[in-house]
Amino acid sequence: MWFSPVLFSILAPYVTHAVDTPTTILLASPRLPQGASKPIVNNFVSLSIAIHWFQDYTRQGSNASQPNTFTRNLLNSLTESTSVAPQIRIGGTSADRTTYVPDQEETIKTVTGDNGIPLNVTLNERWFRQCFEDTSFPPGTKFIFDLPLMRNDSGAIDNTVRGAQWALGAIREERFMAFEIGNEEDLYPGQGVTPRSWTIIGYVERWRRFAGAILERVVKPSKLDSTKKWFQGLVFAGLGYNPDWTTQTAFAAGINEDGLLKSVSLHNYPAGSAPWVTLGRTFMNHGAIVANISQVNDDLEFLQSSPETWDLDFVLGETNIDFVNLKMEQFEGVLGSALWTIDYILYAAFSNVARVYLHQGTTFGYAAWQPVPVNDIQPKVRPPWYGLKFAAEAIGFHHGPIQIATIAPTTNESTDQLSVYAIYESFALARIAIINFNEWNATTPYTRPTINFRIALGIRGTKATGRRLTAPEGASADTGLSFGGVVWNYSTNGIPENVDDVHGNIALEADSEGVLEVGVKSSEAMLVQLHR
């Protein structure tokens, strides 16, 4: 990855206590610099939802008879940020364990398993009709639907074809993006699903049989454009998890020999529940995020290495902060995780990933919101939501090229604590996103430090607006978050409202030397919007 020294020079920013207010100089190129990303889609921030929780997100009331307006309002908010509704992928391990049962009375039945993931899921056709009802989503929402590959008995293909038929019938052609087949197939041998000797060659053979059946029995009889491709492939468990299961080895084994793929998806969860995992060192750490995302470079380079794969998008089709879904809220559901979400999304965009799908589930610790009551806990907006919203606002709703540039701080001490991005619209600087990862909590024995950023634009009198993502209790806060003085709560059904005692929009103006000045405290992020 090439970094432009012209864009930003970041000096002496590291803070350990509040003795002085250090100043950091940001030299911002007004025009798109060399080394910036390729153009980014507006709805780069998209969602993956586990199939066994999808009804919670889309429906409410007895028998799931009404749209979940809390979810819809939050999806509308993301859509307002970018002008394009986030894509939604329905999938996960539970999708690979799903059976479609025509005569089942309940819309969904599950058998409880570990880590919030069922051992078995059964759905009837009404589940599809209700869950994909138009009124549950912003206009223009498009869907990717994950089908089972795990079964290999005599009825497996018929089951998967039935799911594809029901899904396409409910989603309809104009809202449909792609089918996935299987989920994290590289884990099958370890799960006892296949023999330990099963290889990627066996996977490719099975995938092509299932894909061929869907093509002949579902896609071709439908109204889908036969000149387009309707499958997203691979969906392997992790970046570098198994060197025998990669984008390169899958294509060498013939995964796209029939020319069915429109995109390639890998899953990514940077950490688990190991003793070394901490909020500051593991997640509020720009260097760790860069190292993690950089693992996709080989996949991106491979897909760009041949005319046969140039047109295939590479996406992180299921991803979030930590693969442990439960009992990790102290890391996954706090302000620090919202800051991680911003940096992770924007660095993925800078790295030319085509789209990210942040995985969601009703009880998952990293979920952006809880869509329905769980035990005695009412639905609520959770801290990761603020990371999604900030990132969506940073990308914005411009309908020309949107591109991102960044540079790491030049001093070794600061590399992991600060992350700064410049967002360009039609090649002109539009926004600057600043993340201060220095960890501070209400229990920290000193006043919350501030870094004073001097943004050198070179154009005097430039006006701008700054919006701060913060929480009074600091990095470990699981409540009290606001972005630009705005909060989202279940009490307002997901409609944003202003906080009386929080300054929202900060008016900024470049001085006679063309410098904007803004302070960002530890464990905060700031989005600066230029007005030209």
The pTM of this model reads: 0.94
Assigned domain for 14 exists? no
Confidence of residue 116 (pLDDT cuts 50, 70, 90): confident
Based on the fold, state whether residues 338 and 450 are members of the same structural domain: no
Residues 260 and 147 both lie in one domain:
yes
pLDDT (tens digit per residue) in 398-428? 999 999 998 655 444 467 899 999 999 999 9
Q: Are residues 453 and 375 in the same domain?
A: no
Parallel/antiparallel/unpaired status of strands 524-531 and 463-470: antiparallel
Tokens for 337? 């995780």
Residues 6+ apart with CB under 8 A from 12: 22, 23, 24, 411, 414
Pick 30 or 403 by higher pLDDT: 403
The reply to whether 439 falls in a domain is yes
Residues 385 and 496 in one domain: no
Task: Look at residues 355, 374, 395 and tell me which one is the last residue of a structural domain.
Answer: 395
pLDDT band for position 113 (cuts 50, 70, 90): confident
Q: Indicate if 368 and 453 belong to the same structural domain.
A: no
- When the pLDDT of each residue in the chain is averaged and rounded to a whole number, the result is 92
Q: Which residues contact 493 (CB under 8 A, 6 or more apart)?
A: 69, 70, 73
Please state, in angstroms and as integers, the Cα–Cα distance from residue 514 to each residue in 9, 275, 406, following that order.
Answer: 16, 48, 20
Distances (CA, A) of 236 to 43, 203, 231, 240, 380: 23, 11, 15, 10, 31
What confidence score (pLDDT) does residue 114 get?
77
Mean pLDDT along residues 239-246: 83
Looking at 395, 427, 454, which one is the last position of a domain? Answer: 395
Is residue 368 in a domain? yes
Domain that holds residue 424: 23-38+401-531
Cα separation of 40 and 37, whole Å?
8
**How far does CA 107 lie from the centroid of its chain?**
28
CA-CA-CA-CA torsion sign (337, 80, 61, 174): negative
Q: What is the CATH number of the domain that holds 383?
A: 3.20.20.80
Please tell me the distance from the alpha carbon of residue 160 to that of residue 100, in angstroms, as a whole number. Answer: 8
Q: Which two tokens stand for residue 157?
A: 């293909």
Mean pLDDT over 192-218 rounds to 97
Same domain membership, residue 283 and residue 242? yes
- Identify whether residues 240 and 166 lie together within a single domain: yes
Position 325 confidence tier, pLDDT thresholds 50, 70, 90:
low
Decide if 7 is inside a domain. Answer: no
Total of domains in the chain = 2
Residue 4 within any structural domain of the chain: no
Tell me how far the alpha carbon of residue 184 is from its chain's centroid: 18
Instruction: Write down the pLDDT at residue 174.
Output: 97
Is there a single domain that holds both residue 385 and residue 244? yes
Region class of 58: left (phi > 0), else alpha (psi between -120 and 50), else beta: alpha
Residues 267 and 136 in one domain: yes
**Which of 334, 363, 395 is at the close of a domain?**
395
| Number of neighbouring beta carbons within 10 Å of residue 220 | 10
Residue 471 falls inside a structural domain: yes
| Digit-coded pLDDT (tens) for 59-102 | 998 788 899 999 999 999 999 999 999 999 999 999 999 999 99
Residue 499, domain CATH: 2.60.40.1180
Residues 289 and 412 in one domain: no
In a domain, 210, yes or no: yes
**Together in a domain, 371 and 427:** no
Q: Tell whether 406 and 509 lie within a shared domain.
A: yes
15 in a structural domain: no
